[in-house]
Amino acid sequence: MRLENKVAIVTGASSGLGKAIAEMFLKEGAKVVFSDINPYPGELNENAIFQHADTSKSEEVDALIATAVEKFGTLDIMVNNAGIGVLNELTNLSDDEWDKVIAVNQDGVFYGVRAAARYMKEHNIAGSIINMASILGQVGFRGAGAYCASKGGTNQITRTAALELAPANVRVNSIAPGFIKTEMTKGIQEDTAANSFIEQSTPLGHMGEPNDIAYAATYLASDEARYVTGSVLYVDGGWMAQ
């Protein structure tokens, strides 16, 4: 198993990409802390626990690290996946909408990187930190200004952290999904015109599945990626090649 004897935290793990990642980590031998503001809908075995955490609050992210260490003895992998989206043009976007997206998607990543890196450096752990970005961190998209800004910021946090943490042998990378079949994209899936646009705009011709992202996360978390840091891994059906 590729993650045997590793301890991981996955935020936003009760649904979508986070759920797929956390469950695949378990199958690959890791001990996993599933974290979310919503309860995990399934059953967990002796190698997993659920911990409520609002990643927009630094004290809750710090407590999440403490919980993982208390339960499993260490921390090797941190996946900062929790995220939200708001569809609204910039001229109509309220302060509260902007603040909420930035707080969860960008501040939450920063808090997760900082807390995990502090622990890993202090305990000489050659860890892996994985941040969930998006193709929309690289290109604009109408109605998604706050989301695009937050994901672009995530990539810059990733690159900077990778440089700063390289001497400690802590790797930091981003995954940038394209359009994936989750609750967040349910509206697109159910809208014939929108779904057709995404399919026609994606070279592989279809939306991805959550496990497509989970496989990428498993690679970055594993020792197979020991020479990979500061990267943005696009898992997007070829969208960014255009």
What residues are annotated to the active site? 147
Q: Which DSSP helix (H) or strand (E) runs through 11? A: strand 7-11
Q: At what angle do helices 210-221 and 16-27 cross, to 10 degrees?
A: 50
**Which residue carries 């981003």 as its tokens?**
174
Q: Which DSSP helix (H) or strand (E) runs through 10? A: strand 7-11
> Which residues fall within 8 angstroms of residue 79, CB to CB, at 6 or more apart?
8, 9, 10, 11, 18, 21, 22, 130, 132, 217, 221
From CA 121, how far away is CA 161, in angstroms rounded? 12
Minimal CA–CA distance to 230: which of 176, 139, 167, 161?
161
Coil, helix or strand for 130? strand
From CA 161, how far away is CA 213, in angstroms rounded? 22
Determine how many CB atoms are found less than 10 A away from the CB of residue 181.
16
From CA 220, how far away is CA 177, in angstroms rounded? 14
